[in-house]
Amino acid sequence: MNFKSRLYLILAGIFIASLVSSNLIFQKFFTWTPFGLYTFEISVGILPYPITFLVTDLLSELYGKKKANQVVIAGLVSSVFVMGIILLANALPQKDGSPVDSETFNRVFGLYGPAVFASMVAYLTAQFIDIRMFHFWKRLTKGKHLWLRNNASTIISQLVDTASVLFLLCLVGVFAWHEFFPLFKMGFIFKVLVALFDTPVIYGVIRLLKGKVDIAPYQEG
């Protein structure tokens, strides 16, 4: 297996790990006030999730749209598989003396059906938009201005992701409708900040890989 193939597997692994972990840890919330300017009250699940968009941008840049789409589908299959395992583990009876009782296990790992459904619908929609927008800007600029396609695709897809998941969660009653805008504002602003910070990361990775991995042609897709 050559270096490019090994790198593809590593990036796919990071993508899937980030996606699955974001769904497993989302029930814990935290507050963060950067520079005392604004206080975020958000789920810890939002921390690994933006990494998935960084990875799809890297995959799109290095391997093209088809390979990036394949990893998105693999992420969906992996998430459904993990949810199935958790549902099975949750359904099994507790043994006497178990270090973790069934109630605690269910409270930590129990997956609320509508929340998972909303998350998966938003995930698929946003990731496919991110990949499509990335290649739209890549073709339009003839492969130049990586910063533009990285930020434009990620910010637009994060807007769709945040709005769609909250809309579905409000629709099924997980959140009240009056909570929509405050949650949307906090989630989207946080994701945009992360998107801006990942621009130097993607430039650094591309620079490190120069001469090892060829950039996918901008005419692709």
Whole domain around residue 139: which residue ranges?
Answer: 3-28+40-208
219 is a domain residue: no
| Residue 187: predicted pLDDT | 86
220 is a domain residue: no
Q: Are 166 and 175 in contact (CB under 8 A)?
A: yes
Is the model more confident about 69 or about 191? 69
149 vs 82: CA distance, rounded Å: 32
Q: Are 43 and 29 in contact (CB under 8 A)?
A: yes
DSSP conformational letter for 210: T
102 vs 15: CA distance, rounded Å: 30
User: Residue 42: what residue type?
Assistant: I
Could you tell me the pLDDT band of residue 63, with boundaries at 50, 70 and 90?
Answer: very high
Cα torsion angle, 136, 139, 200, 59, sign: positive
Q: Calculate what percentage of the chain has a pLDDT beyond 70.
A: 97
Residues 106-162 have pLDDT tens digits of: 888 876 667 777 888 888 889 999 999 988 988 888 888 888 888 889 889 989 988
Q: Are 159 and 188 in contact (CB under 8 A)?
A: yes
58 vs 64: CA distance, rounded Å: 9
Neighbour tally for 200: CB within 10 Å: 10
204 is a domain residue: yes
108 vs 87: CA distance, rounded Å: 12
| Residue 15: predicted pLDDT | 95
User: Residue 136: what residue type?
Assistant: F
| Residue 7: predicted pLDDT | 94
- The secondary structure of the chain in percent helix, strand, coil, rounded to multiples of 5, reads 75, 5, 20
Could you tell me the pLDDT band of residue 75, with boundaries at 50, 70 and 90?
Answer: very high
DSSP conformational letter for 67: H
88 vs 69: CA distance, rounded Å: 29
CA distances from 40 to 95, 162, 185, 212 (A): 40, 15, 9, 40
151 is a domain residue: yes
Task: Return the bridge partners of 32, or none.
Answer: 40
The count of structural domains within the chain is 1
Neighbour tally for 211: CB within 10 Å: 6
Q: Calculate what percentage of the chain has a pLDDT beyond 90.
A: 28
34 is a domain residue: no
101 is a domain residue: yes
143 is a domain residue: yes
47 is a domain residue: yes
Work out the mean pLDDT of the chain and round it to a whole number. Answer: 87
CA-wise closest residue to 221 among 5, 53, 69, 10: 69
| Residue 219: predicted pLDDT | 62
